[in-house]
Chains A and B, each alone.
Chain A
């Protein structure tokens, strides 16, 4: 059964309103009955956390919305190294993911191509891949920090390491399972290996490769937050950690929302490319 888009969106919206409403009401009622009553104006001035003297009540959706508005009015300000807008922080994270993921693609796709074409190379590299792939990318961080001696480049390296595996394996699989029929067509046409790789194998494997890239970018975006929490400095992960130290939970909820939205956007972007290279038998 095909559900009209507007109907499902309407229901999604209703669910969201219900959820936010329940959240708001629950906190309001607990604030009314619970001991700490804070003057609203004072709270607005110094922030809820400070007003309650170190206690950190869960922010209400309305407070979060107000804070979000405040953050988004000027997302790209830079006031010193420790005080930069949320847009700047996200841009830092995106840049690291972009560079790490891009470098990983530059290595993984040609290498995966070679593995897919040569079963011998695949068999030789397989043990290394199988052992390294399940390692949490963050486990590489100390080694990276020690050798690279730069926290920012180290996070890029961690992104590189975690993005490489799905792309490598998917490329190898996609290239290795190109229909023998098509390869035979290319052979009987004496197409040459470069032309066969470019015009036959690459387009045939492209959907599988794109699936790998999509998995990789998802993982990279998951890992960058953790990596930046670990090494600090800049980026959305560092920002989240900073807001936790400031006990500003509203900011953390906002960061979660932002991370989710950017992740969705990245996935959509690659999904769009995947659609462009998809083929149907």
Chain B
């Protein structure tokens, strides 16, 4: 995995008396979309925070672009689960704040224009001057997406970005993110509970066993052809096999594997499967 943009090398998170996960190895290639799926509490958010540089692993390290992560970086933008917009700033100011961090010397008027442009790309031109409290949940998350894309990060990190939204809004935003990611050839890492979301967006899906002491059980390669559309996803060849496989893992195997991993299981190279092929 030397060519990977991000290389996660044996990270673990331990608290006194509890190991959340252990010996996690995986990579994310440039331009690749990787989803992490697993049950609640297995440490997915912790993994994402480590990738973001917001937390340190108890063991192991993460190499990005040949360098170990020391802390948060503008190169790895995060879309948070709870939008995390500053409520005292308008949508435009929220985006402009991020832009002003990326472009330290950019004059105010130019920041404004760039922020407007970023909001326009997610269809929020009309809401630019509104405060988050005046926006719907979906619009707030859109602003969060605009903020993340505006700074043109090398990698996008998303922690269940749509889980708080209703099904219709979620679908629209999934399409939105899919479009933006393919337009920018964006490297992305996303946590999700939604199997269809993972199948729609991901190139590879990482499956984690149940915690405590969670491991990376398996890497599912998504062989469904792109472009994928939400409306026609279930008609693609291999969709059902892929979905069955992931659901089966979540329902039974994630629990069984937490009790005992197969003898030939290698933490550095979790088995790769292609159920859709």
- Residues on A close to B: CB < 8 A? 179, 181-182, 184-185, 187-191, 195, 199-200, 203-204, 206, 277, 279-281
Whether B87 contacts A281 by the Cβ 8 Å rule is yes
* Proximity bits, B154-176, A CB within 8 Å = 1, else 0: 00000000000000000000000
- Residues on B close to A: CB < 8 A? 52-54, 71-74, 76-78, 80, 82, 84, 86-89, 97-98, 101-102, 131-133, 151
Whether A279 contacts B101 by the Cβ 8 Å rule is no
- Interchain CA distance A191-B98 in the complex, whole Å: 8
| Known A-B contacts A199-B97, A279-B88, A281-B133; A185 and B80 likewise in contact (beta carbons under 8 Å) | yes
CB distance from B186 to the nearest CB of A (A): 16
- Interchain CA distance A248-B80 in the complex, whole Å: 67
- Interchain CA distance A278-B145 in the complex, whole Å: 26
- Give the A-B pair count, Cβ closer than 8 A: 62
Q: 6 tightest CB-CB pairs across the interface, nearest first? A: A279-B88, A189-B101, A181-B84, A280-B133, A188-B72, A279-B87
Can you sample 22 A-B contacts with CB below 8 Å? A179-B84, A182-B84, A184-B72, A187-B71, A188-B53, A188-B54, A188-B74, A188-B77, A189-B101, A190-B72, A190-B73, A190-B74, A190-B101, A191-B101, A199-B97, A200-B86, A204-B86, A206-B88, A277-B88, A279-B88, A280-B87, A280-B133
Q: Which residues of B contact A206 (CB under 8 A)?
A: 88
Interface of A is mostly: helix
- Interchain CA distance A188-B54 in the complex, whole Å: 8
CB distance from B163 to the nearest CB of A (A): 15
CB distance from B32 to the nearest CB of A (A): 21
Q: Which residues of A contact B101 (CB under 8 A)?
A: 189-191, 195
Whether A185 contacts B84 by the Cβ 8 Å rule is yes
CB distance from A180 to the nearest CB of B (A): 9
Q: Which residues of B contact A187 (CB under 8 A)?
A: 53-54, 71-72
Known contacts A188-B52, A190-B101, A277-B88, then 20 further A-B pairs from the complex at CB < 8 Å, ordered by chain A residue: A181-B80, A182-B86, A184-B54, A184-B72, A184-B84, A185-B86, A187-B54, A188-B72, A188-B74, A188-B77, A189-B72, A195-B101, A200-B86, A203-B86, A203-B88, A204-B88, A279-B87, A280-B87, A281-B132, A281-B133
